[in-house]
Structure 1
């Protein structure tokens, strides 16, 4: 029976790369992104290259009740895979950043992902089959001064994913959380209104490789996937050093990245 995967943030970055891998694996696709124009272009390209059906939904998942609206559109589809990849970051001191932008980010990273996961999981559990891949970040493992809410929201996503993965361990439904380090995607372009000063060049990963690592982890049913040996070391740093020390290290890294030459 033909399987269907839903991918958010599918128009670019890791969402796009994961969508390609799913298409190659013969999944029909439901692609969700705020950039509907780009989704239409992708729809034509992918359908010409792979034997799959594609439905697109152009919507802003940072809006209130967006998960419910999306699910009403796809509720008639048997969803075998859900990839929650949509996200963005905001750089700056918490006292200086824009609250409306932060509220949108928190709603996207926490409320929308949680709600859409809950809605989709009901069908998966009923059928006793399905896979969920939540894209978090290496930022999930420690506090992040100068990107405080981004780090906190990714920490929530890691904790949430691990918890429900445990709840589902006696079923055939799996939950994987992908925690990549810095990856060369458009995230670097939208991390803030002054992104040209805030781009990260240290330990930069290839999005195709990160997506392949996450896809393989999802297929195997692995719970936490951290690509890259150095990233695995950084993820375990809070176990070795005090939280105050790791927080100070992250602050220095953030300030150093702010001063470095932009990535193009």
Structure 2
């Protein structure tokens, strides 16, 4: 029998690329996104090009109780793979940013993902089989002034994923958290108009490659997946510098996000780009 995968944020970016990989491996798909028109287009394309059965759920996962609504819509479907990929960011000083946007982001990144994982998890444990892939960010490894709540929410997702991965040892269920650096998706445009004016093309990761890396890590049951040698270095930077120092570095980088210095090394450019884009 074909297995079934649920993918949030499936209409674009990494969610879309991960969905294609699952379709290639003949999973039946439940695609969840706020963009209903894109979901319908994808559904039609997949029905013509793959053997996957495709169900779409158009909903705003940043709303309260959205995880329960989604789970109820699954109608007792046995879920073999859950990919939590939906997310967005808010740029600016915490004192000045829009609380409505931030509360929606926190609800999506923390409450919805946690609740949906909990609802799906028990069935996986009962069947001794299942894989969960949570998409976090390189931002998870340090505090992020000027995107304070985004960084904090991604840190939560990293910690949560590592903890339950440990709890689920020997159950047949694995949890993987993918922590990509800058990736060429629509994320920057969603963050804010102020930050979307500062895009740097230096060493931009291909979403197909990032998705393939995360997908492979999920299949292997790897817990933390950080694609790219330089990103691995940056993820470990807080181990070599004090938290105060790394926080100050991020603050300076974010404050300079309208202008890229011209007299920096390639490594410094990459650090600047990562902290401006993740």
TM range (shorter): over 0.9
Q: Give the structure 2 partner of residue 41 of structure 1.
A: 41
Q: Which blocks of at least 5 consecutive residues in structure 2 are unaligned?
A: 261-272
CA deviations on 1:72-117 (whole Å, 9 max, x unpaired) are 0004211000000000001101011000000000000000000000
Between 250-259 and 102-111, the greater mean CA deviation after superposition: 250-259
Instruction: Give yes or no for contact 1:109–1:154 (8 Å, CA) kept in 2.
Output: yes
Find the aligned partners of 2:93 and 2:188 in 1 and give their Cα distance.
Answer: 18
Look up the SS of the partner of 1:11 in the other structure: coil
Q: Give the structure 1 partner of residue 219 of structure 2.
A: 219
Q: Give the structure 2 partner of residue 5 of structure 1.
A: 5
- 1:194-233 alignment runs, 5 A limit: 194-199=194-199, 201-233=201-233
Q: Matched residue pairs, number? A: 263
Look up the SS of the partner of 1:48 in the other structure: helix
Look up the SS of the partner of 2:257 in the other structure: helix
Instruction: Give yes or no for contact 1:91–1:198 (8 Å, CA) kept in 2.
Output: no
Instruction: Give yes or no for contact 2:137–2:180 (8 Å, CA) kept in 1.
Output: yes
Q: Give the structure 1 partner of residue 53 of structure 2.
A: 53
Tell me the CA shift for residue 199 of structure 1. Answer: 3.7
Tell me the CA shift for residue 252 of structure 1. Answer: 2.5
CA deviations on 1:102-148 (whole Å, 9 max, x unpaired) are 00000000000000000000100011100000000000000001100
- Please report the TM-score for the alignment, with normalisation by the length of structure 1: 0.96
Instruction: Give yes or no for contact 1:29–1:55 (8 Å, CA) kept in 2.
Output: yes
Instruction: Give yes or no for contact 2:33–2:60 (8 Å, CA) kept in 1.
Output: yes
Q: Give the structure 2 partner of residue 238 of structure 1.
A: 238
Does 2:185 correspond to 1:185?
yes
CA deviations on 1:155-206 (whole Å, 9 max, x unpaired) are 0000000000000012110000000001110011101243433545454211
- Please report the TM-score for the alignment, with normalisation by the length of structure 2: 0.91
Cα 1:108/1:225, change in 2 over 3 Å: same
Find the aligned partners of 1:56 and 1:159 in 2 and give their Cα distance.
Answer: 30
Find the aligned partners of 2:23 and 2:16 in 1 and give their Cα distance.
Answer: 11
Find the aligned partners of 1:157 and 1:203 in 2 and give their Cα distance.
Answer: 25
Q: Give the structure 1 partner of residue 144 of structure 2.
A: 144
Q: Which blocks of at least 5 consecutive residues in structure 1 are unaligned?
A: none
Instruction: Give yes or no for contact 2:144–2:250 (8 Å, CA) kept in 1.
Output: yes
- 1:54-93 alignment runs, 5 A limit: 54-93=54-93
Q: Give the structure 2 partner of residue 169 of structure 1.
A: 169
Tell me the CA shift for residue 251 of structure 1. Answer: 1.9
Find the aligned partners of 1:205 and 1:254 in 2 and give their Cα distance.
Answer: 20
Tell me the CA shift for residue 34 of structure 1. Answer: 0.2
